[in-house]
Chain A
């Protein structure tokens, strides 16, 4: 058992470089042939924010004081999860030719998608800081704690990505279903509306939405300048770790059969 663990760690380090190359490839291919290239990672959230702010800020003017930042802080974290898991979902089936011909630890494919999502998030955060400057939003010292919720979401997305990528190998339906699911998830997360407008029953269900907890956490740090309670930290950590554990178990059990189905 111990020996097995050591060999796992060894292969992980051996293939660390591959993980890096896969992430670089991902980002390169995404912005290849676009004139602005990597600048889009910053521009995209800015433009989205402008559109959403114009559309919704009049509706929620009273309840949300700093709408642009309220929206950005929520939407950046949410799209980190939704984009990276959607990409992870296809990661095994789209690398079929590789998996059939060379031995590579297969979890690298979904993991690389989550890491490139993380890199993207890093750039998008620049956009948020720019908007904060322009809207005279105070820079609280709690901003320095942003890596904590990002780590929670990273672990959560990795778990979810592992589950989705493994399940999609056996049932391609999941790819179609997940698109709709993400849409519903977007509306059921308080990204551009305040959670306070929800009726009590809906609020109880909302507490089961992991993204609700993560987004609240980020907003506490960015907008309110407070560090969330230990209880809230425990909840976030528990959701992340449970999802990751399930992901690892599902993936590990099914990975030897992938090559027969892709």
Chain B
């Protein structure tokens, strides 16, 4: 079987100049002082792995180990400084729920806007509209501008849109800690359904138990380097016992 996600020697470099240089005067001064491209920071170094269809990968590691950066590289938001990323299939990124919302527009308008951001047609969204609204439990607030929503409501709507159909690849970045326990249960159930239907999942979490429960493979990152990659139990046990 061919790999659905393949990373080859992926490295990601950020320029950590202490202040952001975004005006011309500063730029010229720094260029003269030769401070412009000063502090390089490699968030990821030489990451290579392959995932096949149906795999679910848990990414574990301490804060700042490059987990979120890795997800963003796979989602296509960041382009790696070096290396190659191959992703075959549709991607549903749950990196920050409700990222594409326009606060001034109503929930109804935002559903269509967000659907378009994910690349769906208007007709398709109309078909899915009722399902999204009922999953997000926002029937009574559908024509209210999103700026008046609570953060839980926004997250619910974002989750409902992003997971409305079964993607080939689902990317989840610790977003499930939103909403009340009822909604959390509901969203976990939906994610499990997506995993069981054969989608490939990338999942970042600090909770080793959660990773063990949901994934069959794990990747342990430390300071942007791959410390371990393989079966979820082996990697998670090594991580907990370090």
- The chain A residue sitting closest to B75, CB to CB, is A103
Judge whether B116 and A101 touch: CB under 8 Å: no
A14 at the interface (CB under 8 A from B): yes
Judge whether A101 and B77 touch: CB under 8 Å: yes
Tell me if B's interface is mostly helix, strand, loop or mixed. loop
Judge whether A98 and B24 touch: CB under 8 Å: no
Judge whether B24 and A171 touch: CB under 8 Å: yes
> Chain A: interface residue count, which band?
20 to 34
- The chain A residue sitting closest to B15, CB to CB, is A260
- Partner of A99 from the list B20, B77, B120 (CB cut-off 8 Å) is B77
Least CB distance from A258 to B in Å reads 10
- Partner of B112 from the list A21, A171, A173, A256 (CB cut-off 8 Å) is A21
CA distance A10 to B179 in the complex (A): 37
CA distance A216 to B96 in the complex (A): 50
Q: Which residues of A contact B116 (CB under 8 A)?
A: 15, 17-18, 20-22
A212 at the interface (CB under 8 A from B): no
- Interface residues of A, Cβ cutoff 8 Å to B: 14-15, 17-18, 20-22, 25, 28-29, 32, 97-104, 170-173, 256, 259-261
Cβ contacts A to B, 30 pairs, < 8 Å: A14-B119, A17-B116, A17-B119, A17-B120, A17-B121, A18-B116, A18-B117, A18-B119, A20-B122, A21-B112, A21-B116, A22-B113, A25-B102, A25-B105, A29-B105, A100-B77, A101-B96, A102-B75, A102-B95, A102-B99, A103-B76, A103-B77, A104-B117, A170-B22, A173-B24, A256-B79, A259-B78, A260-B14, A260-B15, A261-B20
- Interface residues of B, Cβ cutoff 8 Å to A: 14-15, 20, 22-25, 27, 75-79, 91, 93, 95-96, 99-100, 102, 104-105, 109, 112-113, 116-122
